[in-house]
Amino acid sequence: MNTSLPALSLIAVPGRRAATLDLAREIEARGFAGIYCPSFGDGLGLCQAIGQVTDTIEFGTSIVNMYTRHVADYAETASLIHEVSEGRFQFGVGVSHSPINDRLGLTAGRPLADIRDFVEAFQSQRRVGEMPPIVLAAMRDKMCALAVEIADGMVFANAARSDFAHTLERCPERDADFFLGGMIPTCISDDREAAAAVMRKTLTMYVGLPNYRNYWKQAGYGNEMEAIEVAQDAGDHAAVPELMSNAWLQDCTLHGPADEVREGLKEWCDAGLRTPILVPSSVNGGQLKAFEEVFDLFRS
């Protein structure tokens, strides 16, 4: 990780894709550690464009869903981006979540076996060119251990900072160059309650996913997750944000005044996170405003 600046998460918002590429250039010019693109808005396509409009910054997917394209197709595109970017690209991939795969009509098997088979097939493709490093989406211990065994890194999303050091302790030993990234929802505002409300809205989708709830239960938030499950089962979705405790929200996001966000980021690094990846949101506007606020955070 860049010792002074984190990496940033970037999404190609429909209607503003050219502006998104301008934003990628600015992120590079300001010296951030990397750009990582989630699956929303075609993160792999955005990475291909970023590789052509930037010169030095590292970037990658975080992540693509392994089930939505054939492994050979992914390999060809990943190799192309790796080559045209002169080795700055890394391919982040994961099994996504059952409700999402079901909604897309995708047939998923056993996550650990499926991702192992995918990585083996990805790395064994012939005549597609040199392959980029591969990074696995991880949350719980078995996937973390598998990432250490077969991949070049792992990336978390919405992890609990208080449990992160314990997660690493339970993992096998990693090489010094093993990528260890974490996507952290971030909202900078002197109005802490307004920033917290934005973070609760951001995480509402994630608490609806069983894999995330199981992870947070393991991390010590069983009461919150069980109460959320009761509300969801009853169809009382309006109650869910109120059930996201302040302690849980503080542990899984960075929000509030600038000094508190900086301190929280330092605590993440102290916990062992090598590459924090801030996912900006704003009380005062959309993506562009959120990035302005992040830029201001590291300007002052």
In-domain check, residue 264: yes
In-domain check, residue 135: yes
pLDDT means per 10 residues, the chain with 300 residues, are 79 92 97 94 95 98 94 97 97 86 80 96 93 95 94 97 92 88 98 98 94 95 97 95 97 98 97 97 94 91
Whole-prediction pTM: 0.94
What integer pLDDT is reported at residue 282 of this predicted model? 98
Place of tokens 């860049």: 2
How many domains does one find in the chain? 1
In-domain check, residue 81: yes
What integer pLDDT is reported at residue 68 of this predicted model? 92
What integer pLDDT is reported at residue 1 of this predicted model? 39
What integer pLDDT is reported at residue 300 of this predicted model? 58
In-domain check, residue 229: no
What integer pLDDT is reported at residue 149 of this predicted model? 95
Give the C-alpha separation, 158 to 189, whole Å: 19
In-domain check, residue 222: no
What integer pLDDT is reported at residue 174 of this predicted model? 85
What integer pLDDT is reported at residue 115 of this predicted model? 96
In-domain check, residue 197: yes
Give the C-alpha separation, 103 to 65, whole Å: 13
What integer pLDDT is reported at residue 2 of this predicted model? 39
Q: How far is CA 211 from CA 96, 185, 217, 218, in A?
A: 9, 18, 10, 11
On whether the CB atoms of residues 93 and 138 are closer than 8 A, the answer is no
Place of tokens 């929802």: 185
195: containing domain:
7-204+255-299
**Which CATH number fits the domain that encloses residue 151?**
3.20.20.30
In-domain check, residue 101: yes
Environment class of residue 134 by beta-carbon count within 10 Å: exposed (0-12), middle (13-18) or buried (19+)? buried
